[in-house]
Structure 1
Amino acid sequence: MSNPTGSSPGAAAASPTAHAPAHVSGQDARRVAFAAFVGTALEWYDYFLFGTAAALVFSELYFSTLNPAAGTLAAFATFGVGFVARPVGAVLFGAVGDRIGRRPALLITVVMIGVATGLIGLLPDYAAIGVAAPTLLVLLRLAQGVAVGGEWGGAVTLAVEHAPPDQRGRYAALPQLGSPVGTLMSSGAFALVLLLPDQTFDSWGWRLPFLAAFPLLVIAFYIRRRVEESPVFDELLKEDDRAKVPAGEVFRYAWARLLVAIAAAFLGVGGFYVLTTFAISYGVDTLGLSRSLMVNATLVAAVVEMVVIVLFGRIADRLGPGRVTCWGGLASAVLALPVFVLLATRSPVAVVLAISVGIAALSVAYAVTGALLAELFPARYRYSGVALAYNVAGALSGFLPFIATAMTTAIGDDPWVPATLLIAVSLVTAVGGIVGERMRVRDEVVVD
Structure 2
Amino acid sequence: MGPTTHDAVRPGPADPKELRRVILSSYLGSVVEYYDFLLYVTAASLVFGDLFFSNLSPAVGTIASLGTLAVGYVSRPLGALIFGHFGDRVGRKSVLVITLVMMGVATAAIGLLPTSDEVGMLAPVLLITLRVVQGICVGGEWGGASLMSYEHAPANRRGLASSFANAGGPTGTALAAGVLGLFSLLPEDQFHAWGWRIPFLLSAVLVAIGLWTRLRISESPEFLEEQRKQKESEGTPKIPLWEVLRAPRSLLLAFFALLSPFALNGLIGSFGLTYARDSGLDVSHVLGIQVLGGIACVLGELAAGALSDRYGRRAILIFGMLVGALFAYPFLRLIGSGSTGLTLLAFVVMYGVAIGPMFGPCGAFLSEQFSTGSRYTGASLGYQGASTVGAGFGPVVFASLLAAQNGGLGLIMLLVIGIGVVSAFAVALSRERVLVVPSAEEIDAVSPPSLPSGVV
**Aligned amino acid, residue 372 of structure 1:** F
Shift of 1:23: 7.0
Q: Which residue of 2 aligns with 1:275?
A: 268
Shift of 1:408: 0.5
Structure 1 CA distance, aligned partners of 2:8 and 2:52?
49
- Report the CA distance shift for 1:355/1:416 in structure 2 as closer, same or farther (over 3 A): farther
1:12-39 CA-to-partner distances (Å, cap 9, x unmatched) read xxx998xxx9974344323211110000
Name the SS for the 2:75 alignment partner: helix
- Do the aligned partners of 2:97 and 2:215 also contact (CA within 8 Å) in 1? yes
Contact residue 267 and residue 362 of structure 1 kept, 8 A: no
Give me the whole-angstrom Cα distance separating, in 2, the residues matched to 1:59 and 1:298. Answer: 19
Q: CA deviation at 1:215?
A: 1.2
Equivalent of 1:387 in 352, 356, 380: 380
Work out whether residues 22 and 235 of structure 1, in 8 Å CA contact, stay in contact via their aligned partners in 2: no
Q: TM-score, normalised by structure 2?
A: 0.90
* Contact 1:268–1:363 (CA under 8 A) maintained in structure 2: no
Alignment equivalent of 1:204, drawn from 184, 189, 194 = 194
1:126 corresponds to: 116
CA distance in 2, matches of 1:229, 1:202: 44
| 2:360 alignment partner, one of 367, 375, 378 | 367
User: Which residue does the alignment assign to 1:260?
Assistant: 253
Matched, 1:334 2:326: yes
Aligned counterparts, 1:204-243, within 5 A: 204-240=194-230
Matched-pair contact (CA < 8 Å) for 1:24–1:231: no
Q: Deviations over 1:355-390 (max 9, x none)?
A: 111222122111111010011111010000111010
Q: Letter of the aligned partner of 2:317 in structure 1?
A: T
Which amino acid in structure 2 is aligned with residue 324 of structure 1? Answer: I
Residue 431 of structure 1: aligned partner: 425
2:401 aligns to what? 407
> Which AA in structure 2 matches 1:420?
L
Q: Secondary structure at the match of 2:255?
A: helix
| Unmatched runs of 5 consecutive residues or more in structure 2 | 439-445, 450-456
- Alpha-carbon distance in structure 1 between the residues aligned to 2:85 and 2:335: 43
2:370 aligns to what? 377
Q: Report the AA paired with residue 323 of structure 1.
A: A
Contact 1:375/1:441, CA 8 A, preserved across alignment: no
For the 8 Å contact 1:84–1:145, the answer to whether it is kept is yes
Structure 1 residue aligned with 2:154: 164
The 5-angstrom pairing of residues 308-347 of structure 1 reads: 308-347=300-339
Q: 1:442 to 1:115 in 2, by over 3 A?
A: farther
- Pairing partner for 1:284 from 277, 292, 298: 277
Residue 391 to residue 431, structure 1, CA distance change in 2 (3 Å): same
Counterpart CA distance in 1 for 2:351 and 2:283 is 19
CA contact (8 A) 2:50 2:61 kept: yes
Q: Is 1:353 aligned to residue 345 of structure 2?
A: yes
Count of residue pairs the alignment pairs up: 431
Q: Cα–Cα, structure 1 residues 177 and 171, in superposed 2: closer, same or farther, change >3 Å?
A: same
SS at match of 1:104: helix
SS in 1 for 2:246: helix
Give 1:403 deviation, angstroms: 0.5
Tell me the TM-score normalized by structure 1. 0.91
Partner of 1:80: 70
Cα distance between partner residues in 2 of 1:125 and 1:379: 46
Question: 2:12, 2:295 → 1: CA distance?
Answer: 36
Letter in 2 for 1:147: C
Instruction: Return the alpha-carbon distance in structure 2 between the equivalents of residues 252 and 28 of structure 1.
Output: 36
Partner letter of residue 251 of structure 2?
Answer: L
Query: Counterpart in 1 of 2:46?
Result: 56
Larger deviation, residues 242-251 vs 336-345? 242-251
Q: RMSD across aligned C-alpha pairs, in angstroms?
A: 2.4
For the structure 1 residues 16 and 149, does the alpha-carbon distance in structure 2 shift closer, same or farther, using more than 3 Å as the test?
farther
Instruction: Please report how far the alpha carbon of residue 243 of structure 1 lies from its aligned counterpart in structure 2 after TM superposition.
Output: 5.6
